[in-house]
Amino acid sequence: MSAVRVAGIASFANAFKEALLPALCIACDGVLSGGERGLCGACRSRMVPMSEPCCPRCGVPSDSETDPCITCVDRRPPQDGTIVWGSYEGILRRAVLALKHAGHDELARPLGRRLAARVELAPWSAEITAVAAVPSHGARRLRRGTCAAELLGAAVAAAIRRPSITALRRHGFGRQAGRTRSQRRRLARGSFSARRALAGHRILLVDDVTTTGTTLRRASETIKEAGAEAVYCAALAITPEPRRV
């Protein structure tokens, strides 16, 4: 059976189930009321942004929001700035997983709006000319039907009133999910290629979750090589480092 047919059957099954059963919150399993979708109001209110400072260059938790971290001072990343909305745990983690793997596309808009609000606070926000997303592999897209990062990117682009463009193509089939941090950092150069010339653009690159930042760096390198004047990154969530937790 083809991947497209499997995705179609799964989508039909979900729609049939939702038509017969009451919609439940993906975080607390409570029955949703009124126009609520995906998350109930109580759980949405408990989904809060990070309070600790992050490196303005790479986005990792740091001692300062204005000065680059030691890693970025030692080796400057290709992106010109990075912001992260929240920590990948609790309700935010459940929401991201529901968006990525359970077909809850309706969560892209409220999550994207939260990320967009954080983007608009960045000192470089006014410079953005277009929004792009970190793409998934083609085979994975066929299986899932959607790409969470692209859904978020489109929502962010609409919220900050910038065009959403397809800038990158992903190569290979290696997954970052499930790998250790050291394995993630070995993501090969050439994992991305540009789909278009980007001369004159200042791109906002959106991803759903970042762990070591390697994917954002590789994608940013490719965008710069395609002629972009600047690349800024925005991730909805960052995976906490075990030693920091």
| Residue 171 covered by a domain | yes
Q: Is residue 143 part of a domain?
A: yes
Q: Is residue 244 in a domain? A: no
Instruction: Confirm whether 3 is domain-assigned.
Output: no
- Higher-confidence residue of 186 and 152: namely 152
Is 78 part of a structural domain of the chain? yes
User: Which pTM value belongs to this model?
Assistant: 0.83
Question: Residue 193 CB: number of other CB atoms within 10 A?
Answer: 12
The number of domains in the chain is: 1
Specify the pLDDT at position 16. 54
- CA 101, 107, 111, 113 dihedral sign is positive
Name the residue range of residue 157's domain.
49-238
Q: Judge whether residue 135 has pLDDT over 80.
A: yes
Nearest to 242 by CA among 185, 183, 187, 181: 181
Report if residue 165 sits inside a domain.
yes
pLDDT of residue 9: 57
Identify the weakest region by mean pLDDT among 72-86, 127-141, 174-188, 221-235. Answer: 174-188
Q: Is 190 part of any domain?
A: yes
Residue 126: is its pLDDT beyond 80?
yes
| Residue 108 is assigned to a structural domain of this protein | yes
| CATH assignment of the domain containing 150 | 3.40.50.2020
